[in-house]
A and B are shown apart, each in its own frame.
Chain A
Amino acid sequence: MNLNIPLISVENVSLIRQGLEVLKEVSFAISAGDFLALIGPNGSGKTTLIRVILGLLPSTAGRVLLMGEEVEQFTQWSRIGYVPQKAAHQDSSFPASVREVVAMGLISLKRFPRLLKAQDEVSIDQALDRVGLAGLKTRRVGELSGGQQQRVFIARAIVNRPDVLFLDEPTAGVDAETQTRFYDMLAELNRKEALTIVLITHDFGIITKHVNRVACLNQRLFFHGTHQDFCSSPVVQELLQGEHHLICHRH
């Protein structure tokens, strides 16, 4: 991997939908090893921006480069892991075992007819072990708790050992204790496995404890910088409006 090229470059991206400017000239870069929190009020365009970065939505102007390639031409999808927001609201009656869900993540590594092989079982076991779900492989995913389901989706996203992992509000509807352990796991993946993480969140706790970069979005990007700069920025005070007392620290 060429460390001089950012993993992801967002260059002057704008998006107009139904006459409304959802994203306005957004530019920033994500480097290898970053743990970036993307924050902003509801309706600020966070999910839309991630969808544009991943090529799920075409931008009206600007461009997105993934590993140096324009997203429209990008083919190395096995280097990207994604946990969408709706994963938290997955149909619990869907008849998929934990193993089957994690196996879906291997598809980007395979060529037609993309059949699973014996060694793929090892990868599935390892991914489940990494998220603490070893032993639940045969369980129906709908039987698991919300927090466990999210870990299954993380396992699916990392089973092919991507370079960057996108998570869209992964802890929505999950209790506080599970959230803490979940973020600890993400931090572990970021630090020990050098996994670049882009996380949409409303949780300021994660920002103060784990991430090293923060991007604040409200149609336009009004802050992008390090965790330390974020903590000392007047933008934060404006954002919190005196409702929270922010204590910034990193382990």
Chain B
Amino acid sequence: MENLLTYAFMQRALLAGFLISLTCAVLGVFLVLRRDAMIGHGLAHVTFGGVALGLFLSVAPILVALGVAVISALGILQLKERAGLYGDTGIGIISSLGMALGIILVSLAGSFNVDLFGYLFGNILAIDPQEVWIALILAFVVLSAIALFYQEFVYLTFDSESARVAGVRVRRLESLLAMLTAVTVVLGMKVVGILLVSALLVIPAAAALQVARSFKEALAVAAFLAGISALAGLVISFYLDWPASGTIVSLSGIFFLIFYQMRPFRKHRREETPSPSPLPSRQGVKRGT
């Protein structure tokens, strides 16, 4: 059996795939809990338009897609907050317009169908050193932003109204979260393609939420599952000659099913926990004690 690490393209794929999957999973926990899981799906569609625009203009597609995705993410947020649209209607509108733009540009150009195919289905094995660097920098930016605003993001996700009363600038943070999501979607596009990128955001997070007993545990489990899925998926795809994107997402799905099956055990354990302590006696409440 040949050693896959002797190939430079596999080294790049493993490094970029691991980091991007981990980033998607961490962000995904916040999105799933905020009932915003579909924003990743919507932005992926918009990204298609951005990539098509980049190819049409002969400008780096990943950068054009990044700009289009960030603007669209903020647009979705505005529609959700101010236009009074129901549920995911804003996502539906923006993502459809993005796809429409892409289809028009593809039709007008008629020459970059092969390139576009790579963005639609992902081609991490063809990732070049420059793209690895872009992925590294963007992953660092996203994870750093989450780390720096961790307390605010957790409060915002759990109870946005109380977070506002605590002085958290909810609107600014929601915009930041939307922009981070846009960046992450564009990053994930290189690993699994536009069509499957939302899976990286949703599935590891959904699996982790089946078993996690705290927020930090949910983040850790989601990151671990995503990292393992990316690394194992790439290894399996290398030896079995399977498509990397499909293999990575399928592994994530298998992990979700396993963790979903573990859920009843957790519920059973909950029933066995003893009753907590009663309220304190009057003497027990003193300021500064």
Interface residues of B (CB under 8 A from A): 33, 147-152, 154-155, 158-159, 161-168, 208-209, 212-218, 270, 273, 276-280, 282, 284-287, 289
Query: Judging by beta carbons under 8 Å apart, are A131 and B280 in contact?
Result: yes
| Complex alpha-carbon distance, A130 and B284, angstroms | 7
| Complex alpha-carbon distance, A187 and B286, angstroms | 12
| Complex alpha-carbon distance, A95 and B282, angstroms | 32
A window 77-102: CB within 8 A of B: 77-78, 80, 82-84, 86-87, 90, 93-97, 99-101
| Chain B residues with CB below 8 A from A27, complex form | none
| Complex alpha-carbon distance, A133 and B152, angstroms | 24
CB-CB contacts of A27-60 with B at 8 A, as 1s and 0s? Answer: 0000000000000000000000000001110000
Query: Judging by beta carbons under 8 Å apart, are B155 and A107 in contact?
Result: yes
Query: Judging by beta carbons under 8 Å apart, are B214 and A95 in contact?
Result: yes
Query: Judging by beta carbons under 8 Å apart, are A95 and B162 in contact?
Result: no
Query: Judging by beta carbons under 8 Å apart, are B277 and A133 in contact?
Result: yes
- Other A-B contacts than A132-B279, A144-B276, 9 sampled, CB-CB below 8 A, are A86-B159, A90-B159, A104-B158, A108-B166, A108-B167, A138-B213, A139-B213, A148-B276, A161-B287
| Complex alpha-carbon distance, A140 and B273, angstroms | 11
| Complex alpha-carbon distance, A137 and B140, angstroms | 32
| Complex alpha-carbon distance, A144 and B287, angstroms | 26
* Interface secondary structure of B, over-half rule: helix
Cβ of A152 to closest chain B Cβ, rounded Å = 10
Query: Judging by beta carbons under 8 Å apart, are B286 and A192 in contact?
Result: yes
Q: Point out which of A105, A140, A144 has the most chain B C-beta atoms below 10 A from its C-beta.
A: A140
Query: Judging by beta carbons under 8 Å apart, are A104 and B162 in contact?
Result: yes
| Chain A residues with CB below 8 A from B148, complex form | 112-113
Query: Is A143 positioned at the interface, with any CB of B under 8 Å from its CB?
Result: yes
Query: Judging by beta carbons under 8 Å apart, are B166 and A95 in contact?
Result: no
| Chain A residues with CB below 8 A from B270, complex form | 143
Query: Is A75 positioned at the interface, with any CB of B under 8 Å from its CB?
Result: yes
Query: Is A206 positioned at the interface, with any CB of B under 8 Å from its CB?
Result: no
| Complex alpha-carbon distance, A127 and B103, angstroms | 58
| Chain A residues with CB below 8 A from B209, complex form | 93, 95
Query: Judging by beta carbons under 8 Å apart, are B161 and A133 in contact?
Result: no
| Complex alpha-carbon distance, A84 and B165, angstroms | 10
